[in-house]
Chains A and B, each alone.
Chain A
């Protein structure tokens, strides 16, 4: 097996063009499991850890694909609360010190923790090759189980996200708090100035996916200008529509019926927390809601 160690992004893209079979490795928390257990025997590994361009984030926001979860939690929690919440649920502290959003996107597992947040927050994925750069909206990035929109010569360079314009929440069901692959997960983003809602489910379909009918229903049911306490009927209908957007399977982690039920519960609860935050802000209170 060849081990390729580029020091710049340009060099990495040239290598990837020549060796499209090279498997990119950053934090290694996904790829290494496959290597250690011989589930995968790549002809070459492309080490992305020495490329400074990938390890930085810039205001705006452009988050380098190689920024580990621990830095998203520590440095971007105020600007990207949803992504920070999802990052806190990834693996364990040791995994969060190494794992990256770029890796989550590269693996494109339907259960990846950051995907619902990226979808609900209108993230755009920046991918590059020697042929140029492409900006792919998250909603067009996930193509199938562990399949994404990357061409063989492309690398994921960064994720573009707007700093949160309103409350964001993320919720995940698992057998314990740490070290679990999601049974199912859900993210919500409110955009009060635009009268808009983002909502997406994880681990409940072949790909992470948005719940457009739930988004539209909620946008029309909520009064962002004069927010009032939520009606239970609105929460219930929202939960129902989120659940309907999923097409889960029965597997070792949970049954399809359980996933559908849990998604409706998570949708209701996260909406309640997000709306409470919005109300509190309107009333001049800085206190954040808790579970």
Chain B
């Protein structure tokens, strides 16, 4: 049996996530308070309830990638400048690298893995493919998570307004014109 790159990294992450306990272990420990230095947090990711026991310094980005195996969210700069780690928390787009997991008690998180409906891509994903809205693809999940919100913002209409609304997502390949066209297509379909 062959192991895909994604499965490999998923397994590797599960092994390497030292501070994270597996979900059943947390369940068993739920009645006990977290040991010194660790915090418990319960929140939803893509509609699924997650209980994590973690070091309070763990960002949402690291929790997603290393503890939940959701590696679609990318780490570009880890300092809020590139937008590659954009996810939705309670329906607003935020940077997961600047969000502490421990502050998310009771919150709802949506990542790139959570926007398609099974095999049916989200209209924004479809539009990015139709318009080649990427080259290397590293910034793409962040671009799409941002674009999903920009498509919903009715007051954002002109090309300039779309560029401004997407200004928190950087693409080093320079796929901006195609990203703009993709968003316009998704907006047209949304009306």
Contacts and interface: CB of A to CB of B under 8 A. Distances in A.
A255 interface: no
Contact of B168 (A28, A36, A45, A93): A93
B99 A98 contact: yes
A25 interface: yes
Interface string A16-49: 0000000001011100110111000000010101
B39 A95 contact: no
A50 interface: yes
Given A92-B167, A94-B146, A35 B103 contact: no
A91 B57 contact: no
Contacts of B37: 1-2
Contacts of A29: 80, 95, 98
B83 A92 contact: yes
Contacts of B170: 179
A35 B80 CA distance: 12
A27 to B, nearest CB: 8
B168 A98 contact: no
Interface string B22-64: 0000000000000001010000000000000001110100000
Given A32-B100, A177-B164, A179-B167, A3 B56 contact: yes
B181 interface: no
Contact of A94 (B55, B105, B168): B168
Contacts of B79: 33, 36-37
Interface string B89-102: 00011110111101
A94 B86 contact: yes
A26 to B, nearest CB: 9
Contact of A98 (B94, B102, B164): B94
B100 A97 contact: no
A93 B167 contact: yes
A5 B39 CA distance: 10
B17 interface: no
Given A1-B37, A32-B59, A93 B165 contact: yes
Given A29-B80, A47-B102, A98-B99, A3 B39 contact: yes
A28 B86 CA distance: 15
A137 B169 CA distance: 37
A50 to B, nearest CB: 7
Contacts of A91: 80, 168
B11 interface: no
A36 B78 contact: yes
Interface band, chain A? 20 to 34
Contacts of A45: 56, 100
Contacts of A95: 80, 95, 98, 168
A65 B80 CA distance: 21
A78 interface: no
B81 interface: yes
A70 interface: yes
A178 interface: yes
A180 to B, nearest CB: 10
Contact of B103 (A28, A37, A92, A97): A28
B56 A97 contact: no
B99 A97 contact: no
Contacts of B39: 3, 5
Contacts of B86: 94
B103 A94 contact: no
B59 A94 contact: no
A33 B98 contact: yes
Interface of A: 1-3, 5, 25, 27-29, 32-33, 35-37, 45, 47, 49-50, 70, 91-95, 97-98, 176-179
Given A36-B59, A93-B146, A95-B95, 9 more contacts: A3-B56, A5-B105, A25-B100, A28-B100, A28-B103, A32-B59, A93-B149, A94-B80, A179-B81
Interface of B: 37, 39, 55-57, 59, 78-81, 83, 86, 92-95, 97-100, 102-103, 105, 146, 149, 164-165, 167-170
5 interchain residue pairs of minimum CB distance: A92-B168, A178-B167, A3-B56, A32-B98, A97-B92
12 contacts: A5-B105, A27-B98, A29-B95, A35-B57, A45-B56, A92-B168, A93-B146, A94-B146, A95-B80, A95-B98, A98-B99, A178-B168
